[in-house]
Amino acid sequence: MTRISIRHASTTSLLAISMAGLLVMVSGTAQAAATTVPLGTAGTYAILAGSGITNTGITTINGDVGSSPTASETGFAACPGADCVTLTGANHTSPNPNDAVTQGAKAALTNAFNNAAGQTPGVVLTELAGQNLVAGVYTSASGTFGMSGTLTLDGANNPNSVFIFQTASTLITGGTGNINLIRGAQACNIFWKVGSAATLGAGSTLDGTVMAHDSISLGSGVTVIGRLLAGEQASGAGAVTLIHDTIIRPTCAAPVVPPSASATPKPSTAAASASAAAASKAAAAAKLAAASKSAAALKAAAAGAGAGGGIAAPGAPQIARVPVGAVHTGDGSSIRHAGSVPPVVVIGIATLGLAVAGASVTESVLAHRRRRPR
């Protein structure tokens, strides 16, 4: 094989390998785009159920609570108490069970559930722990999700990044299940569409809004930065069970807006115009003074030259003639002394001498060659 053929084959192989690597990178990072899920009036709820809410132990809830069509609450006495709830928000089951607001919120839940279910997903592993995911829509081949460790969600410095997880059946987290939000990812933009029931293990932490077709059950000491919205199905059935837990309805942090460059006060147009006019007038006066001084200096220099003097007047050009004094003697005057020869003349004579000498040598060489016998 010739050198050109080998070089061509090597180039072709390298190009093929590069293209293959590019395809692997693209396929490995491509994600289905996600749009935010419209929660409507269900968004004000931290807990929304269809078959009632049951609590054991001391639970903290930040957000509204309600249940429709079955408006029942157990263990919801005000704290302190053995089974009590510290509630920051509206309790829509007291004093009017199954009020119109909660009914409207259940309808909004169905709309949000269908919106999340209708977005096209990409497939990831069933076990979410150990995965690092960017914004997108995700499902698993098994139709379920589990989380026994840390799932990392990367917002890629976009606070509006949306993450949607779809399951055909269950969502189950272990006691060490938790979510690490990095680079701007926010709990308010995370949505869990659960096809049947969700079970969050004791001691686990979950970020995002859980929208379950059926029920949602929490073990002891679970923390949810999100919402628990149960009973999406047509019958509305779906209970929420709590045991000494903390549920905080998320809010999106406002984007940081850099200070505007226009924040610095600027002078008014009139003041700016007056300032510019004054500066222009001062500059013109300075130029006129400099021109007058230069003219006077030139006139004085001319007068001095006519009188036979060689000393320049103040303000005139510093060098009126080429200095002829020797540098080492400190005589740099422009007055030519008797018997002195300007350096430029010396250089000219030396150059002329070298040229003549060179011509003589050249002529001698040519004459010598002519005399040589052939």
What's the pLDDT at 229? 98
Q: Which residues of the chain have pLDDT under 70?
A: 1-31, 94-97, 255-374
How is residue 167 written in tokens? 């399951």
Q: What is the DSSP string of 59-116?
A: EEEESEEEESSS--EES-EESSSSSEEEEES-BTTSSSTT-HHHHHHHHHHHHHHHHH
C-alpha to C-alpha distance for 280 and 58, rounded to whole angstroms: 78
What's the pLDDT at 173? 98
Pairing state between β 190-194 and 122-124: unpaired
What's the pLDDT at 158? 96
C-alpha to C-alpha distance for 295 and 289, rounded to whole angstroms: 10
Q: Residues of 183-201 as b/e, b for ≥16 C-beta within 10 angstroms?
A: ebbbbbbbbbbbbbbbbbb
C-alpha to C-alpha distance for 223 and 205, rounded to whole angstroms: 5
C-alpha to C-alpha distance for 310 and 322, rounded to whole angstroms: 12
C-alpha to C-alpha distance for 206 and 151, rounded to whole angstroms: 10
Contact 299, 315 (CB under 8 A): no
Please give the span between the terminal C-alpha atoms of the chain, in angstroms, as a whole number.
59
Model pLDDT for residues 112-130, shown as the tens digit of each residue: 999 999 999 999 999 999 9
pTM of the full structure: 0.63
What's the pLDDT at 134? 98
Measured CA angle at 52 (ends 50, 54), to 5 deg: 140
What's the pLDDT at 9? 43
What's the pLDDT at 99? 86
Contact 331, 341 (CB under 8 A): no
What's the pLDDT at 36? 96
67 Rama sector, left if φ>0, alpha if ψ -120 to 50, beta otherwise: beta
How is residue 260 written in tokens? 């505007």
Q: What is the DSSP string of 287-319?
A: HHHHHHHHHHHHHHHHHHHHTT--PPPTTS-S-
Strand order in the sheet with 198-200: 73-74, 53-56, 240-243, 216-220, 198-200, 171-173, 145-147
What's the pLDDT at 288? 53
C-alpha to C-alpha distance for 157 and 183, rounded to whole angstroms: 5
| Residue 152 β-bridge partners | 132, 180
What's the pLDDT at 259? 64
Residue 353 is given by DSSP the state H
What's the pLDDT at 298? 43
| Residue 107: CA count within 13 A, CB half-sphere | 7
What's the pLDDT at 207? 98
